Amino acid sequence: MNGPQPIDLHFQEVPGVIAAHVLDTGDGLALVDVGPGSTLGALEAGLGDLGASLADVRHLLLTHIHLDHAGAAGTILERVPRARAYVHERGAAHLSRPERLLASAGQIYGDQMGRLWGEMRPIDVDRLKVLSGGEALRLGRTEVVPLYTPGHAVHHLAYHIGDDLFVGDVGGVRLDPRQTPRAPTPPPDIDLTAWRESVATLREADARTLRLAHFGAYPQEAAHWDRLLATMEEDAARVREGLEAGEGLEAITEEFTGALLDDLEREDPTLPDRFNFACPPWMSVQGLVRYWQRAAARGGA
């Protein structure tokens, strides 16, 4: 295996939505994010296409514990006794005791939880390597540097491995080279100030390639980060203006969605439908509403 390889997890049978990445460390395979339990079969098939299997996996490098990134981790560890998972210290408890995480997701997805995300199994704490960010990990012959990158989630990590920077969700959603990156901002803990600081950290990483979970590989260049920050500010401003005008959530969501999809339509006519599936605008609105309400309660932005 020459360098990191993406595995398209074909979420809900749709290509180009969620990716895992696999690399050979010299001490077994590492997976950067594993996807939800519902796509475990696609993950296994992708490994098979590369001449490998789950039994070859030793390291699960989780950017964060949201279901679309880490949902299958517990099942994988049950099936592969020699593997372990790596996670930020503020997310570790949710992997060993996922009940609150699942209950929170259940409030959003209701009876669609199983169909969308599958099962999330708890992980024994002894199988977790808890990280704070900034450590230098040596996995076989591979040096891995986890970077603490909150903003999308308080427990978010990126992983710098050689020329590659695995940026989870803090690098944005970008489904096509023609698409401007957009920040996914679902509840509960969006923090735009922290996100800006995380982008500053990632800009400085000596890497050539950004590897996004949603979706693909792009050059590590200023244009990606500049455009991500610009659209993040535009999206946040749209929601703030709606709140300041006294609009309700439904009206704000309708206006936000229309403007976002119009932006994407101008970039490529196929993007609105693809993006709407990969990153539903209503979820981004809910996260930004919560952010602005909390900022107002604190007396600032």
Q: What is the pLDDT along the chain (301 residues), one digit of tens a residue?
A: 678 999 999 999 999 999 999 999 999 999 999 999 999 999 999 999 999 999 999 999 999 999 999 999 999 999 999 999 999 999 999 998 888 888 878 777 887 888 888 888 999 999 999 999 999 999 999 999 999 999 999 999 999 999 999 999 999 999 999 999 999 999 888 999 999 999 999 999 999 999 999 999 999 999 999 999 999 999 999 999 999 999 999 999 999 999 999 999 999 999 999 999 999 999 999 999 999 999 888 875 5
Q: Is residue 272 a contact partner of residue 265, using CB atoms and an 8 Å limit?
A: yes
Global confidence as pTM: 0.94
Strand arrangement, sheet containing 209-212: 137-139, 142-148, 157-161, 164-166, 209-212, 216-219
In CATH, which of 3.90.1010.10, 3.30.70.2190, 3.60.10.10, 3.60.15.10 is domain 5-228? 3.60.15.10
Residue intervals in the chain for CATH 3.60.15.10: 5-228
CA distance 188 to 175: 24
The predicted pLDDT at position 106 comes to 79
Selection from 10, 67, 4 nearest residue 35 by Cα: 67
Q: How far apart are CA 88 and CA 157, in angstroms?
A: 7
Rounded CA separation 70/90 (Å): 14
Amino acid at 108: I
Q: Is 206 exposed, middle or buried (0-12, 13-18, 19+ CB in 10 A)?
A: exposed
CA 50 to chain CA centroid, Å, is 23
